[in-house]
Each structure stands twice: as C-alpha cells, then as structure tokens.
C-alpha cells in the first residue's frame, strides 16, 4: 500500500477508511515516500496473492450457489448426460452445466449469479459449470484452489478442456497434471494437459481429432489495409501445415540465394505469394543454385541448394541440421542410386538456343515451357525436407496407441501421426541415448551432436517460468575460460536460454547455478531464488532456507 507523509506520520493512505481525513481539492496532493525495490516487490506479490484469493474464492462461491439451487426436483432438459422429460413451455428446468458426474442445477440460478458479478447469463453458467467440474471431477485441482495455490483461470481452462471426458477419465488427467499447475507457463502446461487427455482415452481422442479436423479446417483472407497488405488465416491438417511451412522456408532460402536481401520473414511472405503462381514457384524450386550461398537471415549462414539435400527449418522454427550437408535428411533416399537403375529421367526442357529464341542463352523460360516441363517432372524431387522428431513411449510402440510427442506441434495421438507418415519417404535416424550423455570437449564451440542432445533433453528455456523454445542459445553455466582445464563444454555445464535470458545472466544482475544436469537455480537481482527442473519453476523466495539451497549449489 502506498504511503504518504502527512499529519498521521506515514499512515497508509486508504480512502475507504472513515477515520482518515482525505485532503480536499484545495489542499496539495499527498507526498509519496520514495519508492524502493522492496516496496514494489511487496506490492506486486501482495497484489497477485490478493487477486488469486479473490478468483479462487469466486469459484468456491459458485459451487455454494449451485448447492443452494439444486435441480433434482425440476424436470430435466436434453443434455449430454441427461434424458428428456416433459416440461411446460418456458418453465425452469434442471440442467447439467458441468461434465459427467456433476450435479444438476436449477436453470435460472446462473442468470442471477451472473448479474451479481456483472457478467452475462452465459458467462455465469460457464462459471458454475467450471467450478462444479473442478469440485466433482478434478479433486486435486480443487484442493489447490481451496488453498489458493494456483490461478483460477488455469484451473478453469483445464476443466473446459476435459469436459467431454467421463468422470473417471477426467480424474486420470487430474492426477497427471495437478502438481504441475503453477510451476509451468500456460503454453507448456497446456501441452501436458493435451497429452493426458489423449492418454485417458486414445480411441476417443483419435475420433474427436478426426471430427474436429473435418469441421474446423478453413482458409480466410482478411481485408487489405492502407499499405496494401492483408492477413491470411488458415486452419489445416497438422501434416499439411508441416509441409507448407517447409516449402515456404525452402522458397525463402532460394529467394535469398538469388539476391533477395530482405529479412527471412519478408522472404517467407513473398514465398507464400509465389505459391499462388505454381509455374513460377516450380521454376524457382528447379533453378540450380550454388552450395555456398548465404541463405539464412540475420547473419546466420546456411546452404542454398535447390536439390533434395536443402536444409530448412521445422515447424517450430528450430534449426534442423543446417550446415551438416553430409548427413542424410529425413526424407532423403537412404541408399545411393544404383548405376544400373538411374531412376526417372530429367525433365526434357526446351533448348534455350533453339529456333524459337536464337542467341539467348540463359533466358527465363516461358510459362508454357515451364508447364510442359512440369508434366514430366518427378514430384518427389520437389518435396521439401522436413525434420520431425517423434518421442514415443515404449507402450505406444508396443500397442500402437497412445501419445506421440512432436517438437513444435505438441502431443498427438498415435493414429494422427501414423496418418501423417502415410504419404512421405521416411529416413529413420539413430536414437540419441539421453541418459548416456556425451563426452565433454575442450573447445568453447559446442559440437552439433551435443546441440542435438540438449535440444531433445531440454527443448524449452531453463529460465524461471520461461516458455521459449526453438532457436535457443546454449550457455555455459560456469563461464568458459581458455586454459582453465579440459571438458568445460559438457552437458552438465550447458543450459538453454533465449538470447534475452542469456544476456540477463551474462551482463545483468541475474546469477545462475546448475548443481546437476537439468536442475538450475537462479537468483534475481533483489535476492529472490528460483529452482527450475523438469517439473517446472519452484519459487523459493528470499528465506534462510532459500539462501541455504543457493549456497549448497555453489559450483566447484
């Protein structure tokens, strides 16, 4: 609470206090005491606790309101979990606002509750449904709500996501993720929720994905703005999205190789526009380009080839092997061509120096010539290269059902991934043995094999509550110093950070220690300590215990 210096000698300024004489308009405004970091921290943390308590209490009150308005004595209407009974026109009925296992509620009760909290009747019904789902279907989350340990909005999102499940299946999700809520940012937590929903009932998840996929696919072009730009919104199958992202990225790299010096995002937008002119896009894809071109934006070098060995990025924007030209890609032919079976012939392109265009070597092909060549082209040669990392549990491999996790796309049902892989050429790469680790190296530079290992081991930034993934820096926890001993570059001394987070611990006042691989401690500029591990972020505060933990992790 803000302080002012006045007749009360620094008494908290609270206009709601009837015992305080609030200055009138003719008096000068109260003078605020100088702010300190401790005051601001106290205000922020205190305000957050108050907001959490208010919102959690709102959920508890919603269940109390439902208990005061039971629906057992009223006729029921048709819902997902109830049957139809005779009811007079316009009469109040019993409705099930939550999922399977929640009690019936009098239909009109939600409207009155909504008016009390200044929201619509629909929002009031949703509030009661979410609260009842938490109390009756997600008991572990409900216990944490009652103890004001988690954000109410996150608990409500989980209740809504699991409403189509049976009570038993919802309980499975509750047991799987309840302890993670509050420790992970919502994006990472949502991936865990999605995976648990699939694991609760893989068959239903696959059926639901198929139904939703057929109903929700769309492409929409927005209205152009004053600068002649528009927004294209597309909701497509995930597999189609992967291919689209890869072909756009490949076209963008080829544009750079031809001299386009604009940013990568700008070139990707140009590439998407090229797909509206298939002949010109194919001409670009089939144009030979040297292998020493600079094709990556922002000073990052990479190969620029139009053949099947072109490296792109995966759907999450992570580097999928750029610069490692000798390593076969996921969709490359795993065997070299047999000289006795040379494969399909090259397209028979018109002779540039033929009678139609004498003396014009290197001229651009006409659209008719491109179309003629395309008809004789092998489509597989134009496939973009995609690196897709699949993480499968032993049970999923053995039974063929369950969850398959994909980098950048989150958890998917095994049936969905099986459909993705049905129309492509696959090259399996060796499994990286994460527990075995890698041999440390003496150089400052991090070998590509170690980068790949870290990407799979810690795909998300290790900074407190971070959600950054993709192109992350691998930072030495104990700074590398030449001549200070061998093996400084090792798994146990590396941690993924975004560029900003890297700068915070390198040039800012943040301190960081890694007592064991994958477990890190961070100390903020004003002393707050955070422990980050595979379970998320654990705020330890500034207590004596927190300081003892920090001191215990002192590096050798």
Q: How far apart are CA 133 and CA 147, in angstroms?
A: 17
Q: Roughly what angle, to the nearest 10 degrees, separates helices 139-146 and 37-68?
A: 120
Report the alpha-carbon distance of residue 138 to residue 447 in Å, rounded: 45
Contact between residue 291 and residue 350 where contact means Cβ atoms under 8 Å apart: no
Residue range 189-219, pLDDT digits in tens:
998 999 999 888 888 777 776 666 566 678 8
Q: Which residue has the higher pLDDT, 285 or 14?
A: 285
The DSSP letter of residue 10 is: S
**Three-state secondary structure call for residue 140:** helix
Give the range among 244-248, 259-263, 341-345 with minimum mean pLDDT: 341-345
Mean pLDDT of 252-267: 90
Among candidate residues 262, 259, 251, 240, the one with its CA nearest the CA of residue 286? 251
Supply the angle between the helices 264-274 and 238-257 in degrees, to the nearest 10.
Answer: 110
List the alpha helices (DSSP H) in 178-237.
186-200, 202-216
Burial label for 407, CB within 10 Å (0-12, 13-18, 19+), is buried
CA distance 317 to 304: 17
Considering only residues 22 and 125, tell me which one the structure prediction assigns the higher pLDDT: 125
CA 287 to chain centre: 35
Residue with tokens 């629909």: 122
Weakest mean pLDDT among 50-54, 220-224, 261-265, 445-449: 220-224
Looking at residue 408, its pLDDT comes to 61
CA–CA dist 25, 556 (Å, integer): 63
Q: Are strands 232-235 and 390-392 parallel, antiparallel or unpaired?
A: unpaired
Question: How many whole angstroms separate alpha carbon 415 and alpha carbon 423?
Answer: 14
Contacts 24+ apart (CB under 8 A), 341-349: 344/378, 345/376, 347/286, 347/373, 347/374, 347/376, 347/377, 348/373, 348/376, 349/373
pLDDT at 54 over 50: yes
Helix (H) or strand (E) holding 233: strand 232-235
Dist CA 505 CA 496 (whole Å): 12
Task: pLDDT band for 223, please (50, 70, 90 cuts).
Answer: low
Gap between the Cα atoms of 186 and 35, Å rounded: 32
CA dist., res. 387 & res. 426, Å (int): 10
> Tokens for 231?
């927004």
């Amino acid at each position: 609470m803000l302080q002012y210096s006045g007749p009360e000698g620094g008494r908290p300024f609270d206009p709601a206090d009837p015992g305080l004489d609030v200055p009138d308009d003719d008096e000068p405004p109260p003078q605020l005491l100088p702010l300190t970091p401790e005051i601001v921290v106290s205000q922020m943390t205190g305000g957050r606790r108050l907001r959490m308590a208010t919102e959690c209490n709102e959920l508890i009150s919603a269940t109390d309101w439902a208990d005061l308005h039971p629906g057992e004595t009223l006729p029921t209407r048709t819902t997902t979990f109830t049957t139809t009974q005779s009811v007079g026109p316009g009469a109040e009925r019993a409705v099930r606002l939550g999922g399977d296992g929640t009690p019936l509620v009098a239909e009109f009760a939600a409207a009155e509750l909504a008016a009390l909290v200044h929201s619509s009747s629909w929002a009031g019904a949703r509030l009661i449904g979410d609260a009842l789902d938490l109390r009756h279907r997600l008991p572990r989350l409900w216990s944490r709500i009652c103890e004001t340990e988690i954000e109410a909005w996150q608990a409500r999102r989980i209740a809504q996501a699991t409403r189509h499940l049976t009570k038993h299946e919802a309980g499975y999700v509750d047991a799987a993720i309840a302890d993670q809520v509050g420790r992970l940012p919502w994006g990472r937590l949502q991936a865990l929720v999605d995976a648990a929903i699939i694991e609760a009932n893989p068959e239903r998840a696959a059926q639901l994905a198929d139904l939703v996929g057929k109903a929700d696919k769309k492409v929409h072009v927005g209205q152009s703005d004053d600068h002649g730009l528009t927004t294209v919104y597309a909701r497509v199958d995930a597999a189609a999205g992967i291919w689209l992202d890869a072909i756009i990225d490949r076209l963008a790299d080829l544009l750079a190789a031809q001299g386009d010096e604009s940013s990568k995002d700008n070139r990707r937008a140009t590439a998407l526009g090229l797909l509206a002119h298939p002949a010109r896009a194919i001409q670009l894809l089939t144009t030979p380009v040297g292998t020493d071109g600079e094709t990556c934006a922002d000073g990052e070098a990479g190969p620029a080839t139009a053949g099947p060995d072109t490296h792109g990025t995966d759907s999450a924007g992570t580097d999928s092997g750029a610069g490692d030209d000798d390593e076969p890609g996921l969709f490359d032919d795993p065997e070299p061509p047999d000289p006795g079976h040379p494969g399909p012939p090259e397209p028979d392109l018109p002779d540039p120096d033929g009678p139609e265009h004498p003396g014009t070597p290197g001229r651009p092909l006409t659209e008719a010539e491109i179309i003629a060549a395309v008809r004789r082209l092998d489509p597989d040669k134009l496939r973009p290269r995609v690196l897709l990392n699949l993480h499968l549990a032993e049970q999923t491999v053995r039974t063929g059902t369950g969850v398959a996790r994909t980098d950048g796309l989150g958890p998917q049902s095994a049936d969905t991934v099986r459909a993705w892989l049905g129309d492509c050429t696959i090259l399996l790469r060796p499994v990286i043995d994460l527990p075995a680790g890698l041999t440390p190296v003496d150089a400052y530079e991090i070998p590509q094999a170690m980068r790949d290992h870290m990407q799979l081991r810690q795909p998300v930034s290790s900074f407190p509550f971070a959600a950054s993934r993709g192109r992350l820096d691998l930072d030495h926890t104990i700074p590398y110093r030449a001549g200070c001993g061998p093996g400084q570059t090792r798994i146990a001394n590396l941690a993924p950070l975004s560029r900003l987070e890297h700068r915070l611990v390198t040039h800012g006042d943040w301190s960081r220690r890694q007592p064991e691989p994958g477990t890190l401690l961070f100390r903020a500029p004003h002393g707050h300590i955070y422990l980050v591990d595979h379970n998320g972020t654990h705020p330890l505060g500034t207590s004596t215990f927190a300081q003892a933990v920090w001191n215990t992790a002192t590096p050798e």
